[in-house]
């Protein structure tokens, strides 16, 4: 019966015995998509220009009948040319000790001549699983390198020439190499996650995982399962064991976004884990140690919340060894031009548009705007302008709405004389969030929404 796990595989068989080659081909052709036979090991480098999953390599050839040293030589060559290829050695009974030495030198396994077909197939199945794992790890490493490179030399989109941002950059450089717990404070859209990623990227844990958790989007009944994990059968939908975010982040950095939205009942459970650095999966009694670098962020006034008994004081002390305050964009207008031109380049490339610059009048218009949604709002404004523009320079006509000045708070709100439902919804959300000083839980309750639904709307409108 065909095995679909192997059917797409490509195998190279290298042996100077024609009978061995043909026997292997006849048996394996039902399992592999492509089989290449080679009697002459000197041609191995040419074959390895193709991407084989497995190489079946004889230990001895006619020039060196029994020592196995030719097998070692070609094993080394294969590893030099393509380290991700799985090499399985073909050897006689008398060469088993030599084959074990070869495995220590980098081979994955060996099969004995004459082989048992079932054992050969089982060996190849394991080899293909290992091959897939290696390729997956390689892809993940490449993706990480690309993401790290995209954060650029100066923290990616976390750009700024203003004194306020220069102070933030200085703080990042000072705290990154430590393992101190950090709280990042700032309005929505100021770039708190970018700061967290910059700290991780410049830390001693930079080669380990960075795990982000949006605490504001977690429902209370899934809070423990998502953060601490669960075992099979712990609750109705727990069909298998699952690691939580703390466990996944162990060795790296855990970023708890919107920490201010955690309900009081769950704050105590979070505090216990942060104090003990141990988690217990839901449904289990086994404690498991974790090793994380903790970074938290919020747009909420935590100290006022402590005074109102809405946030635990001991939890606040635990997470804020270092505080980093991100200024709103309206307090660093000298950064608007730098950010606008960065986003123009980014979206022009993304959407293959000819836009290269922004006119002086349009730039001045941006600089007069209050940006209640901060850098995220500027990003959305530029993205839309680039999409709608047909020229090489953005002008006032490329911005489809009125950019209001920052002269008064009332001017920052959308007027309710519009009958556009989205305008009305945005205005109501702005007012309710402002009424509760940014407390998303209370605002969502007032609006009759879940926190996750409110977050989606805040993201939609750039608030």
pLDDT tens digits for range 91-106: 776 566 776 777 777 7
pLDDT tens-digit readout, 138-178: 656 654 544 454 443 344 568 899 999 999 999 999 999 99
CA distance 277 to 204: 19
Q: Are 372 and 463 in contact (CB under 8 A)?
A: yes
CA proximity to 124, closest of 193, 30, 214, 208: 30
What is the assigned CATH class of domain 10-141?
alpha beta
pLDDT above 70: percentage of residues in the chain = 87
**pLDDT number for residue 100:** 74
**pLDDT number for residue 284:** 84
pTM across the whole model? 0.58
SS (H, E, C) the chain: CCCCCCCCCEEEEECCCHHHHHHHHHHHCCCCCEEEEECCHHHHHHHCCCCCCEEEEECCECCECCCCHHHHHHHHHHHHHCCCCEEEEEECHHHHHHHHHHHHCCCCEEEECCCCHHHHHHHHHHHHHHHHHHHHHHHHHHHHHHHHHHCCCCCCCCCCCCHHHHHHHHHHHHHCCCCCCEEEECCCCCCHHHHHHHHHHCCCCCCCCEEEEEHHHCCHHHHHHHHHCECCCCCCCCCCCECCHHHHHCCCEEEEECHHHCCHHHHHHHHHHHHHCEEECECCCCEEECCCEEEEEECCCHHHHHHCCCCCHHHHHHHCCEEEECCCHHHCHHHHHHHHHHHHHHHHHHCCCCCCEECHHHHHHHHCECCCCHHHHHHHHHHHHHHHCCCCEECHHHCCCCCCECCCCHHHCCCCCCCCHHHHHHHHHHHHHHHCCCCHHHHHHHHCCCHHHHHHHHHHCCC
- Does pLDDT of 407 surpass 60? no
**pLDDT number for residue 99:** 66
Q: Are 383 and 394 in contact (CB under 8 A)?
A: no
Token representation of residue 144: 């990480």
Least confident of 38-52, 205-219, 279-293, 381-395: 38-52
The answer to whether the Cα torsion of 176, 251, 258, 155 is positive or negative is positive
- Does pLDDT of 428 surpass 80? yes
- Does pLDDT of 321 surpass 90? yes
Of 37-46, 119-128, 244-253, 428-437, give the range with the top mean pLDDT: 244-253
Count CB atoms within 10 A of the CB of residue 140: 11
Q: Are 370 and 410 in contact (CB under 8 A)?
A: no
CA distance 216 to 300: 12
CA distance 415 to 427: 7
**pLDDT number for residue 112:** 80
Torsion of CA 182, 274, 197, 243, to 10 degrees: -170
Contacts (Cβ under 8 Å, ≥6 apart) of 212: 193, 196, 255, 257
Of 410-414, 429-433, 458-462, give the range with the top mean pLDDT: 429-433
**CATH value of 330-460 in 1.10.8.60, 1.10.940.10, 3.10.20.30, 1.10.3720.10:** 1.10.8.60
pLDDT tens-digit readout, 339-395: 999 999 999 999 999 999 999 999 999 998 889 899 999 999 999 999 999 899 999
Report domain extents, the chain.
10-141, 164-327, 330-460
**pLDDT number for residue 205:** 94
Contacts (Cβ under 8 Å, ≥6 apart) of 418: 424
pLDDT above 90: percentage of residues in the chain = 38
Does the fold of domain 330-460 match that of domain 10-141?
Answer: no
**CATH value of 164-327 in 3.40.50.880, 3.90.25.10, 3.40.50.300, 3.40.640.10:** 3.40.50.300
Torsion of CA 433, 437, 440, 443, to 10 degrees: -50
**pLDDT number for residue 149:** 43
pLDDT tens-digit readout, 209-268: 899 999 988 888 889 898 998 888 888 777 787 888 998 899 999 999 999 999 888 999
């Amino acid at each position: 019966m065909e095995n679909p796990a192997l059917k797409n595989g490509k195998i190279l068989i290298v042996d100077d015995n024609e009978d061995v080659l043909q026997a292997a081909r006849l048996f394996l052709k039902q399992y592999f998509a492509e089989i290449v036979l080679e009697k002459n090991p000197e041609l191995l480098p040419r074959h390895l220009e193709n991407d084989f999953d497995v190489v079946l390599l004889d230990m001895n050839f006619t020039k060196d009948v029994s020592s196995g040293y030719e097998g070692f030589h070609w094993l080394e060559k294969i590893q030099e040319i393509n380290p991700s290829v799985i090499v399985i050695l073909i050897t006689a009974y008398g060469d088993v000790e030599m084959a074990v030495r070869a495995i220590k030198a980098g081979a994955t396994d060996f099969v004995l001549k004459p082989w048992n077909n079932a054992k050969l197939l089982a060996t190849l199945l394991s080899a293909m699983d290992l091959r897939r794992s290696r390729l997956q790890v390689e892809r993940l490493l490449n993706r990480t390198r690309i993401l790290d490179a995209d954060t650029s030399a100066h923290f990616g989109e976390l750009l700024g020439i203003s004194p306020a941002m220069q102070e933030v950059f200085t703080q990042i450089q000072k705290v990154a190499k430590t393992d101190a717990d950090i709280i990042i404070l700032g309005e929505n859209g100021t770039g708190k996650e970018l700061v967290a990623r910059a700290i991780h990227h410049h830390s001693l844990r930079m080669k380990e995982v960075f795990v982000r958790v949006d605490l504001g989007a977690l429902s209370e009944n899934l809070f423990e399962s998502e953060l601490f994990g669960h075992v099979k059968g712990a609750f109705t939908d727990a069909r298998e064991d699952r690691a939580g975010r703390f466990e996944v982040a162990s060795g790296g950095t855990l970023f708890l976004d919107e920490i201010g939205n955690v309900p009081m009942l769950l704050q105590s459970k979070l505090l216990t884990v942060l104090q003990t650095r141990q988690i217990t999966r839901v449904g289990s009694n086994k404690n498991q140690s974790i090793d994380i670098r903790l970074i938290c962020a919020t747009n909420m006034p935590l100290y006022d919340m402590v005074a109102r008994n809405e946030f635990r004081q001991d939890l606040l002390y635990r997470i804020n060894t270092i505080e980093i305050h991100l200024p709103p964009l309206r307090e660093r207008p000298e950064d608007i031009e730098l950010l606008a031109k960065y986003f123009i380049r980014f979206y022009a490339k993304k959407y293959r548009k000819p836009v290269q610059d922004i006119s002086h009048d349009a730039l001045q218009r941006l600089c007069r705007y209050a940006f209640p949604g901060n850098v995220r709002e500027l990003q959305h404004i530029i993205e839309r302008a680039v999409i709608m523009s047909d020229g090489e320079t953005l002008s006032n006509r490329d911005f489809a709405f009125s950019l209001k000045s920052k002269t008064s708070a009332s001017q920052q709100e959308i007027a309710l004389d519009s009958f556009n439902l989205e305008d009305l919804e945005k205005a109501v959300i702005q007012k309710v969030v402002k009424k509760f000083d940014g407390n998303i839980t209370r605002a969502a309750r007032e609006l009759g929404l879940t926190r996750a639904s409110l977050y989606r709307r805040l993201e939609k409108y750039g608030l």
